[in-house]
Amino acid sequence: MSDPIKPKCCTRIFGGYRYNSCSRAGTVERDGKHYCRQHDPIAISEARERRSAKYQLAFEESMKIRRLHAAAPELLEALEQAVTSMQDSGYSDNHVTVKAARDAIAKSKGETK
Ligand SMILES: [Zn+2]
């Protein structure tokens, strides 16, 4: 009994001046075609989706930071007004909220204690 012919990966790879067949074994079958694990279209699609999701998260985080930076001047001004208003209303400098706000304002201005 002869050894059955093992299928090869059907992917064609550009080798600089012409296309060559992938030399790996076709271990995965998709729609009647054989692929190696590297060229498996489902695995490629899943990897692409994982990368896309990762970049989408990074993009959303980047946009969140950009929006915060864009709003920073208004946030600082509003916080300074809130502190002034609280102090005018009788809150002491040692009130926990006033102190936290003043610390945040100092930090935003690069003032360290
Ligand atoms: Zn292949």
Q: Residue holding tokens 């060229």?
A: 39
Per-residue CA distances from 48 to 11, 34, 41, 51, 103 (Å): 18, 20, 10, 5, 45
Measure the CA–CA gap between 1 and 105, rounded to whole angstroms: 84
Distance, CA 34 to ligand 1 centroid (Å)?
9
* Cβ atoms 34, 28 nearer than 8 A: yes
Distance, CA 87 to ligand 1 centroid (Å)?
71
Two tokens, residue 90: 């009788």
* Cβ atoms 8, 24 nearer than 8 A: yes
Q: Is residue 33 part of a domain?
A: yes
Q: pTM here?
A: 0.61
Q: Is residue 27 part of a domain?
A: yes
Q: Is residue 12 part of a domain?
A: yes
Confidence class of residue 47 from pLDDT cuts 50, 70 and 90? very high
* Cβ atoms 57, 48 nearer than 8 A: no
Q: Is residue 64 part of a domain?
A: no
Q: Is residue 25 part of a domain?
A: yes
Q: Would you say residue 113 has pLDDT above 90? A: no
pLDDT tens string 16-32: 899 999 999 999 999 99
Q: Would you say residue 80 has pLDDT above 60? A: yes
Range of the domain at 24: 7-39
Length of the chain: 113
Distance, CA 13 to ligand 1 centroid (Å)?
8
Distance, CA 20 to ligand 1 centroid (Å)?
11
What was the pLDDT predicted at 56?
A: 98
What was the pLDDT predicted at 27?
A: 96
Total domain count for the chain?
1
